[in-house]
């Protein structure tokens, strides 16, 4: 049936492209689209803050649910999304934001919520398009859709804004033209044979090889594991790629990351930027001065901070299969180096797990590692684990195993936990969803528990409640003579908030009661289990000096190593 309005046509086109759920907050400027989507049977998830809508769209996209779509009204509706757009931008998550704007006849006259929206979001979007004429609707939608998918550059968020008066116009004169295929994926990018040959030669030198995977490795997990098996390489993942390689795979060097980076003689990056989390690829961090093979689709995966000795521009899966077909690993893999590190990693993990339930604290609070060990008992192969916060994320990153993982990512954006968990539960309703969230982080988006209740999103939110911003608190103790300013929180009862919002809520102050409370939370989700956690244990991020924001690197040891390297290699004066 012919869509009667531009809003109706837009809704129908989104549905044709596979969109079955959008996240947003209603408002007059986008009400025509909101209504049209609902009438077409698209699930419209109404959130309590527009930033949460984009977080949820990001989580859906990152969990394989296709392009995430968020729908927000003009003015503050749009400005509320900027931090979340920045998160999706750095995570390279395919998200399309649709927003209204003031009617064209009122533009520039001081209309309600009339601000330069496109200029505000442009730095954190791959593309921004405004539909000034109804005839251009589908062409502009094609442009932002393509940009979100990364068809001509990195994936990431893109924005389509439409004045409200355009939305209400009849769609009869919209230029339909040839329609974009409804498929949600992007066209394959195949490797150059010459680059493949050069990579095979580099890999054939028999050096200790370390594979570092990023978002691009999600293209084809089988190809990554096949490459590891054939080459005997060790592997470290990042939050972008956790779950691509099974956690029990013999290549995994989970607890030996720093040593692996220091000893590797050849590093292969697969769809991964060399950002602060990898020491920018510096020889101060990868201290054996390794060779580099960089595999990726875009320039930021191939040439940021340091180019490879060889680069292969292609989809990760296509590149890895091409390398295998060209002979990589045919002479048999030498796994001695990686096997020794893997054994050391497994021994370290096992020791930490054995110790966690017995840890005690002076203040009587539950040790964060004890909490995480109890959570891990409930994590099966299909569980989606979300970690959010400062202190608790730092502990969880190295001690909570999960094949499907979401966290604040490169932006370090606290507050994603509850929205990510809600979206995960809606996107993957047959799988467990457990979010471990610090009490500070919970304060950003705890009202989305109401969204979980209204939309029956069966997520368990575990709040690690130490009544403080504990990394900053520790930093003020260490560097500012214990002058504590703005780091104490009142010990809010998030379990009571959950109950007030219609969810299941429990408080736990005794570690022996944790397993039962967590299981009840899963059984009665959406649920919040508020756990009194000790603030005494010093998290890995606190120990590494991250809070001090070192000049050259994110971590103090890397910063010191970089200074020493520069002192040796840069002549004085």
pLDDT exceeds 90 at position 219? no
Residues of the chain above pLDDT 90, percent: 81
Element (H, E) at 145: helix 137-149
Query: What's the burial of 194, exposed, middle or buried (CB within 10 Å: 0-12/13-18/19+)?
Result: exposed
Distances (CA, A) of 71 to 27, 29, 162: 10, 10, 11
Report the length, in residues, of the chain.
Answer: 573
Count CA atoms closer than 13 A to 418's CA, side-chain side: 29
Pairing of strands 43-46, 21-24: parallel
pLDDT exceeds 80 at position 277? yes
- For CA atoms 101, 105, 111, 112, the dihedral sign is negative
pLDDT exceeds 80 at position 180? no
Whole-angstrom distance, CA of residue 161 vs CA of residue 148: 15
Coil, strand, or helix at residue 303?
A: coil
Per-position DSSP letters for 48-97, written without gaps between them:
SSHHHHHHHHHHHHHTT--SEEEEE-STHHHHTTHHHHHHHHHHT--EEE
Nearest to 21 by CA among 63, 87, 66, 84: 66
Backbone angles phi, psi at 558, to 5 degrees: -65, -40
111-130: per-residue pLDDT in tens? 888 889 999 999 999 999 99
374-422: per-residue pLDDT in tens? 999 999 999 999 999 999 999 998 889 898 999 999 999 999 999 999 9
Kindly compute the dihedral angle of the four CA atoms of residues 114, 119, 121, 122, in this order, to the nearest 10 degrees.
Answer: 150
**Which string of b and e fits 335-349 if b means at least 16 CB within 10 Å?**
bebbeebbeebbeeb
Strands (E), 102-157: 127-130
Whole-angstrom distance, CA of residue 489 vs CA of residue 466: 8
Whole-angstrom distance, CA of residue 533 vs CA of residue 290: 42
Whole-angstrom distance, CA of residue 517 vs CA of residue 519: 5
294-325: per-residue pLDDT in tens? 999 999 899 999 999 999 999 999 999 999 99
pLDDT attached to residue 315: 95
pLDDT attached to residue 1: 46
For the annotated catalytic residues, the residue numbers are 472
**Which string of b and e fits 82-114 if b means at least 16 CB within 10 Å?**
bbbbbbbbbbbbbbbbbbbbbbeeeeeeebebb
Distances (CA, A) of 170 to 2, 106, 135, 138, 194: 10, 20, 10, 14, 53
Whole-angstrom distance, CA of residue 411 vs CA of residue 419: 16
- For CA atoms 348, 353, 359, 364, the dihedral sign is positive
Nearest to 432 by CA among 386, 501, 365: 386
Mean per-residue pLDDT, 481-497: 95
pTM of the model: 0.94
- Of 423-437, 456-470, 533-547, the range with the lowest mean pLDDT is 533-547
pLDDT exceeds 60 at position 199? yes
pLDDT attached to residue 173: 76
- For CA atoms 471, 474, 476, 479, the dihedral sign is negative
What distance lies between CA 544 and its chain's CA centroid?
22
Both structure tokens of 226: 């096949």
Whole-angstrom distance, CA of residue 58 vs CA of residue 357: 35
pLDDT exceeds 60 at position 79? yes
| 220 and 316 Cβ atoms separated by less than 8 Å | yes
pLDDT exceeds 90 at position 140? yes
| Mean model confidence pLDDT for the chain | 93
pLDDT exceeds 80 at position 570? no
| 2 and 11 Cβ atoms separated by less than 8 Å | no
Winning range, highest mean pLDDT, from 103-107, 186-190, 499-503: 499-503
Whole-angstrom distance, CA of residue 173 vs CA of residue 155: 32
pLDDT exceeds 90 at position 359? no
Coil, strand, or helix at residue 268?
A: strand
- Of 101-105, 107-111, 466-470, the range with the lowest mean pLDDT is 107-111
Mean per-residue pLDDT, 36-46: 97
């Amino acid at each position: 049936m012919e869509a009667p309005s531009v809003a109706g046509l837009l809704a129908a086109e989104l549905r044709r492209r596979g969109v079955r759920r959008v996240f947003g907050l209603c408002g007059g400027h986008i009400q025509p689209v909101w209504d049209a989507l609902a009438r077409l049977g698209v699930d419209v998830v109404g959130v309590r803050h527009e930033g949460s809508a984009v977080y949820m769209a990001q989580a859906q996209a990152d969990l394989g649910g296709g392009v995430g779509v968020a729908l927000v009204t003009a003015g503050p509706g749009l400005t509320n999304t900027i931090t979340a757009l920045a998160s999706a931008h750095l995570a390279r998550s395919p998200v399309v934001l649709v927003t209204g704007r003031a009617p064209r006849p009122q533009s520039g006259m001081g209309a309600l919520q009339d601000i330069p929206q496109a200029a505000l979001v442009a730095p954190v979007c791959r593309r921004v398009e405004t539909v000034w004429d109804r005839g251009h609707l589908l062409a502009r939608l094609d442009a932002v859709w393509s940009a979100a998918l990364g068809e001509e550059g990195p994936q990431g968020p893109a924005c389509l804004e439409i004045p409200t008066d355009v939305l209400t116009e009849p769609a009869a004169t919209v230029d339909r033209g040839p329609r974009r295929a409804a498929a949600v994926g992007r066209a394959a990018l195949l490797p150059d044979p010459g680059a493949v040959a050069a990579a095979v030669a580099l890999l054939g030198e028999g050096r200790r090889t370390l594979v570092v995977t990023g978002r691009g490795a999600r293209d084809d997990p089988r190809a990554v594991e096949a490459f590891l098996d054939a080459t005997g390489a060790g592997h470290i993942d990042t939050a972008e790629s956790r779950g691509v390689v099974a956690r029990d795979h013999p290549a995994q060097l989970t607890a030996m990351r720093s040593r692996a980076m220091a000893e590797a003689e050849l590093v292969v990056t697969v769809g991964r930027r060399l950002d602060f989390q990898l020491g920018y690829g510096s020889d101060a961090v990868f201290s054996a001065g390794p060779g580099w093979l960089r595999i990726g689709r875009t320039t930021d995966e191939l040439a940021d901070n340091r180019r490879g000795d060889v680069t292969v521009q292609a989809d990760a899966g296509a590149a890895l299969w091409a390398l295998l077909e060209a002979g990589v690993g045919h002479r048999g893999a030498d796994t001695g180096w990686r096997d020794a590190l893997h054994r050391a990693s497994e021994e370290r993990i096992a020791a930490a797990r054995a110790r966690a339930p017995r840890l005690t604290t002076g203040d009587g609070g539950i040790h964060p590692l004890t909490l995480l060990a109890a959570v891990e008992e409930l994590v099966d192969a299909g569980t989606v684990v979300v970690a959010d916060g400062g202190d608790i994320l730092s502990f969880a990153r190295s001690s909570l195993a999960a094949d499907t993982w979401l966290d604040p990512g490169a932006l370090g954006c606290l507050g994603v936990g509850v929205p990510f968990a809600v979206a995960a539960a809606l996107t993957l309703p047959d799988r467990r969803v457990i979010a471990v969230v610090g009490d500070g982080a919970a304060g950003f988006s705890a009202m989305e528990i109401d969204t979980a209740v209204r939309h029956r999103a069966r997520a368990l939110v575990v709040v690690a409640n130490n009544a403080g911003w504990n990394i900053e608190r520790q930093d003020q103790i260490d560097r500012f003579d214990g002058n504590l300013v703005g780091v104490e929180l009142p010990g809010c009862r998030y379990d009571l908030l959950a109950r007030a919002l219609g969810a299941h809520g429990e408080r736990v102050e005794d570690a022996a009661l944790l397993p039962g409370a967590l299981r009840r939370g899963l059984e009665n989700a959406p649920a919040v289990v508020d756990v009194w956690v000790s603030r005494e244990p010093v998290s890995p991020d606190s120990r590494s000096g991250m809070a001090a924001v070192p000049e050259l690197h994110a971590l103090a040891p890397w910063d010191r190593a970089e200074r020493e390297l520069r002192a040796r290699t840069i002549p004085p004066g």
